[in-house]
Amino acid sequence: MHQPSGTPSIREVPVADAAAGPYGIAAGPDGALWLTLVHSGRIARLALDGALTEYALDSPECRPTVITPGPDGALWFTRSQDHRIGRVTTDGEVESFSLPTPDSGPFGITAGPDGALWCTQMNTGSIGRVSTKGEITEFALPDEVAEGAFPAAITTGPDGALWFALNQAHAIGRLTVDGDFTLHPLPTPGAAPVGITSDGKALWFVEIGAGQIGRITVDGEITEFPLPDRTAKPHAVVAAATGDCWFTEWGANRVGRITADGEITEYDLPSPSSEPHGITLGPDGALWVALETGGVARVAR
């Protein structure tokens, strides 16, 4: 592992406990961090001064998972257990919308280029479009792809299309807002991509199965960068700038950074076995990481 002398300062902030399970994290338009508490069915708001507010959802078992800021100034999140899309305003008003297909298992969610939210549906191999009024359209992937593909994280690419990780198809998918789909199989067998992000020029993704970071251009050119520890289980990734991405290593209790030329540096988290999952660029310029054991890590670059 390459851990240089200029190691960033990492501070952990307790926000819950392992029974609540902080999982997804996003920077809100109000200058705070917003978290999903996957095991307790709650959404939490963490101010930069440490003030914490929790909002209960209508079902403690709904499993809020990934969260993202929406184009309407609210936070939107997936509820993977009861197959709904949730919305919470910065004032804490909560509502949710049922996906048309039963048992679809929504996971990833992102603001699209068209003023709507787009989500993945793990169990059905579909992609959903959710208007800010809660109107939902589903795009089924081709049968030969959708069967067991397990779409995971999703992001808007620099080309104005939606890009997403197909975890069990070991591929990256691209979908236009009109529903045109392109499949990009990954070179490494068993790659199992999960997280994906855009740095404004290309897409970066993490391969939890192969212990690699991948980069794909909008033309479909794929480059893979092996981690020093191939068992690290990279999970989520976020771009801090073009050619500057940060990721969580769920299996190794670390956060890592990769540059445009593939240079990888890794940093241990203070608490052992803290289970880092979601990662976001905070309003203060630091990286913020959700730790499923009950905390949030602030990584000052």
184 included as an active-site residue: no
What are the CA-CA distances from residue 102 to residues 118, 122, 169, 223, 229 (Å)? 18, 12, 22, 37, 39
Q: Residues with Cβ < 8 Å from 263, sequence gap 6 or more?
A: none
Residue 149 contacts residue 121 (beta carbons within 8 Å): no
Residue 100 contacts residue 136 (beta carbons within 8 Å): yes
Question: SS3 of 143, please?
Answer: helix
- Calpha distance 104→99 (Å, rounded): 7
Q: Which two tokens stand for residue 94?
A: 């909560």
Question: SS3 of 105, please?
Answer: coil
Given the structure tokens 């993945």, which residue do they identify? 120
Listed residue (180, 235, 245) closest to 207, CA to CA: 235
- Calpha distance 126→105 (Å, rounded): 10
Rg (CA), the chain: 18
- Calpha distance 193→188 (Å, rounded): 11
Supply the residues annotated as catalytic: 277
